[in-house]
Amino acid sequence: MNNKSALITGGAHRIGAAICRTLHNSGFTIYLHYGQSHDAAKQLQQELNSKREASCFIFSAELADSLAAKNISDWLLEHIQKLDLLINNASCFDATPWQNASQEQWQKLLTINTQSPFFLTQSLLPALKKSKGQVINLIDIHVERGLQDHPIYCASKAALKSLTLSLAKDMKGGVRCNGISPGAILWPDHDSDASVQQEILQKIPMGHLGDVDNITQTVMFLIENDYVNGQIINVDGGRTLHS
């Protein structure tokens, strides 16, 4: 069992929760950030701590708040001074059609999806350097071709991709940084339109939805292969081949 530590933002639900469980099973101590999902975060904490005492800690912060990154890093550094893995998973996926997108929506999406990951990473670089750790950013396949009615979301994720490459280059191996771009892994909680889902599936050469395990397996690959740096891995069943 290792003694490594990982901070995962947006770790209470969906892909984030799956990553937490997988890392915990690999011996990591989990530092789980969440927004408003207190019950889910508390339940996951209890689940993990029942398997290994004092192995999961939780903290709430709204990433739309410009002080969130500092609050999260301050909390983490009260527990540990060395961090092995930071996973910037939390994001906001709001539609913002060109015709009526607002400055408030722009600010919210850029703050949550780009600004907070940047400043959280910045704050934790000293702790990451101590362990020669890694940052993994959750990007999106739509940064390459766009997604209808989501121009601000796609721009925010494209910026996060650029930051991923910049960090990998600028740290010169002292801290690795890679990205994972999921395709259709889970349907959005609010999306139950069968015709839309079928249209998406027709664009995937594999012909089916992915699974959260496909993301967690990629996370583990990036942890275990210490010569991968500055890469964005599409986990999409080949969907990006469709143009």
Q: What DSSP element (H or E) covers 37?
A: none
**Rounded Cα–Cα distance for residues 51 and 32 (Å):** 16
Judge whether 153 counts as a catalytic residue: yes
Order across the sheet with 56-60: list the strands: 56-60, 29-34, 5-8, 85-88, 134-138, 176-182, 232-235
- Could you give the CA distance from residue 110 to residue 96 in angstroms, rounded to a whole number? 12
Q: Exposed e or buried b for every residue in 156-173, given b needs 16+ CB within 10 A?
A: bbbbbbebbbebbeebee
- State the amino acid at position 36 in one-letter form: Q
CB atoms within 10 A of CB 213: 11
Q: Which of 31, 34, 153, 227 is catalytic?
A: 153
- Backbone φ and ψ for 65, nearest 5 degrees, come out as -80, 130
Please tell me the distance from the alpha carbon of residue 114 to that of residue 208, in angstroms, as a whole number. Answer: 30
Residues noted as catalytic: 153
